[in-house]
Amino acid sequence: MNVRSGFLESIGNTPLIRLRAASEITGCEIYGKAEFLNPGGSIKDRAALAIINDAEQRGQLEPGGVIVEGTAGNVGIGIALVANVRGYRSVIVMPDTQSQEKKDMLRLCGADLRLIPAVPYSNPGHYARYSGRLAEELGAFWANQFDNVANRDGHYRTTGPEIWAQTDGKVDGFTCAVGSGGTLGGVARALKERNPGVKIALSDPMGAALYNWFTRGELTAVGNSITEGIGQVRVTKNLEGTPIDMAYRITDEEALPVLFDLIEHEGLVLGGSSAINIVGAMRLARDLGPGKTIVTILADGGQRYQSKLFNPDFLRKKSLPLPPWMK
């Protein structure tokens, strides 16, 4: 029988979905890796499993132990669910600005959710930095998704090789946004190892610093974005040394209509980071020219952002585009 045994074996081996409009507009084949189909609902299931597996192998987690992590939401959900399967408790630190849907999901998963004010990374109260101190206080394992390279290694061993196999080795370019840097860092290494000619692009939302870091060598940010879980202001350990060929800066005003069009015409309900990724893939396709194969990441579903991305009042207050059916 073709079955998977439980939650953990259901993580990964997600399909590639041809994005019809993006492909037709650019003259390329643009595919999205459907990471929203992971059992926990996002690509972060991969990071959670890789980090916990690595911690077990290193003897950093004892039976019945506690895992602490700072997260915008999705990696916390993944960690909570993997922890449940493995018999650990999870303590999740999250900025109180994140969507209500993710807060509700973390509580549903049984995580001990600690909400704290959203502050810049330079502030010791930043959720990632605070979670490290909390883990030390509790004598718990700190997952540290941003600087624990087990995250990147998980994508190097799974996501990248899956993309290579699914495209029969014919992938010409890959792009995604950066949160922890694990996906871009791992996939880029895996694809470049198989074909150094594969072009790797960083897709950066407004409010992030990595576009300026790549193009000008400066970690400076401009503007802001309503996207969650992406938009980094520093070079994480997972991102260090990643072979990036080009970078794009993408606005919410450009990304949201793509997101809404996917729902209306292709039946795909996705989160904001996926919209940034798809716009980045379209730019990469235009730069490489017609006939190329481009892959990006469909990181999670739109259900986790209904109170923001698909809330007309919220969008109007931000002077952002609305879904046509909600005007």
- Asked if residue 197 and residue 120 are part of one domain, the reply reads no
Rounded Cα–Cα distance for residues 287 and 285 (Å):
5
Instruction: Please indicate, yes or no, whether residues 219 and 314 belong to a single structural domain of this protein.
Output: yes
- % of residues, the chain, pLDDT over 90: 97
Q: Do 112 and 212 belong together in one domain?
A: no
Q: Is residue 148 part of a domain?
A: no
- Give the global pTM: 0.97
Residue of 228, 235, 232 lying closest to 252 (CA atoms)? 228
Q: Give yes or no for residue 145 having a pLDDT over 90.
A: yes
Q: Is the pLDDT of residue 70 over 90?
A: yes
What's 69's domain CATH number?
3.40.50.1100
Q: Taking residues 74-82, what's their average pLDDT? A: 98
Mark which of 89, 112, 142 sits at the end of a domain: 142
Report how far apart, in Å, the C-alpha atoms of 4 and of each of 50, 139, 158, 284 are. Answer: 18, 34, 16, 35
- Residues 173, 93, single domain; the answer is no
Last residue of a domain, one of 112, 142, 172: 142
Burial bucket for residue 287 (CB in 10 Å: 0-12, 13-18, 19+): middle
- Please count the other Cβ atoms lying within 10 Å of the Cβ belonging to residue 266: 15
- Quickly state the pLDDT bin for 40 (edges 50, 70, 90): very high
Residue 306 and residue 285 share a domain: yes
pLDDT of residue 327: 79
Check whether residue 305 and residue 203 sit in a common domain.
yes
Told to judge if 192 belongs to the known catalytic residues of this protein, a careful annotator would answer no
d(CA 20, CA 314): 29
What is the predicted pLDDT for the residue at 53? 98
* Interstrand relation of 173-176 and 66-70 (parallel, antiparallel or unpaired): unpaired
DSSP state of 273: H
Residue 152 lies in a domain: no
173 and 300 inside one domain: yes
The count of structural domains within the chain is: 2
Q: In what order do the strands lie in the sheet with 293-298?
A: 16-18, 29-34, 293-298, 173-176, 199-205, 246-250
Residue 12 lies in a domain: yes
- Per the domain annotation, does 129 fall within a domain? yes
- How many whole angstroms separate alpha carbon 226 and alpha carbon 155? 26
200-227 residue pLDDT tens: 999 999 999 999 999 999 999 999 999 9
- 149 located within any domain: no
Domain that holds residue 258: 6-38+159-326
Residue 167 falls inside a structural domain: yes
Does 22 share its domain with 52?
no
Query: Domain check: are 113 and 258 in the same one?
Result: no
Q: Is 61 among the domain residues?
A: yes
Whether residue 21 lies inside any domain: the answer is yes
Domain end (from 142, 173, 188): 142
Q: How many CB atoms lie within 10 A of CB 264?
A: 12
Q: Which of 44, 102, 103, 199 is catalytic?
A: 44
97 with 176, same domain: the answer is no
Q: Are residues 191 and 247 in the same domain?
A: yes
| 163 and 273, same domain (yes or no) | yes
Kindly tell me if the per-residue pLDDT of 239 is higher than 90: yes
pLDDT band at 2 (very low <50, low <70, confident <90, very high): confident
